[in-house]
A and B are shown apart, each in its own frame.
Chain A
Amino acid sequence: MEAIPPLARWLHFMAGIMWVGLLYYFNFVQVAALKAAAADGSAAAINRHITPRALAWFRWASVATWLTGAALLGSNFIAAFTLQPGHRAIGIGAWIGTILLVNVWALLWPAQKIALGMVEANDAQRNAARRRAFIVSRLNLALSFPLLFFMGAAGHAAAYF
């Protein structure tokens, strides 16, 4: 049983790096790249071959990160989510991570399916979905900053708080 926390922490780090790394790829690289590619007519290749694969890894990494995080919290799960004394820093991180996960599956993914033409939609609906996905992705980018701070700070509470 004592092997579970270090194993969960290792898997949590790997899945979290995949998740947040792809979030940063979308926001720091792909948005600008698609704008440039649209200008020279090469955006379709990115949207056909790269975006769906990156999104699939992004979505499932979010699930793996949350589940391994929950395993890592173990018996402290309720204490963290109810922000009990001694668990507030990790609790804030856990809440932000949960908000990001919900954003990915409830807001981003439905909008991305429309934007990428995976479901029937007209041009106006596709443009609205593209805009919605962009704003939610940017919101998750901003939320990832406190998420990573509180995840890291929780292990060094004496130094930070």
Chain B
Amino acid sequence: MKNPLDSLPAAVACGLALTLALYLIVRYALGS
């Protein structure tokens, strides 16, 4: 399987998805 980090657009998409996931965790599970 190809590593998604090989592709620049995929790496950017991973970064954006990670940001959203962490934001939702902090907002709804942890609180700021």
Contacts and interface: CB of A to CB of B under 8 A. Distances in A.
B31 A85 contact: yes
B15 A141 contact: yes
Interface of A: 27-28, 31, 83, 85-86, 88-89, 92, 135, 138-139, 141-146, 149-150, 153, 157, 160-161
Contacts of A86: 32
Given A139-B5, A160-B23, A145 B31 contact: no
Given A27-B8, A160-B32, A161-B32, A92 B15 contact: no
Given A88-B30, A143-B15, 15 more contacts: A28-B8, A88-B32, A92-B22, A135-B5, A138-B5, A141-B12, A142-B18, A144-B15, A145-B12, A145-B15, A146-B19, A146-B22, A146-B23, A161-B26, A161-B32
A139 B15 CA distance: 9
B14 to A, nearest CB: 4
Using C-beta atoms within 8 Å of the partner chain, give the interface range for chain B: 10 to 19
Contact of A142 (B11, B23, B26): B11
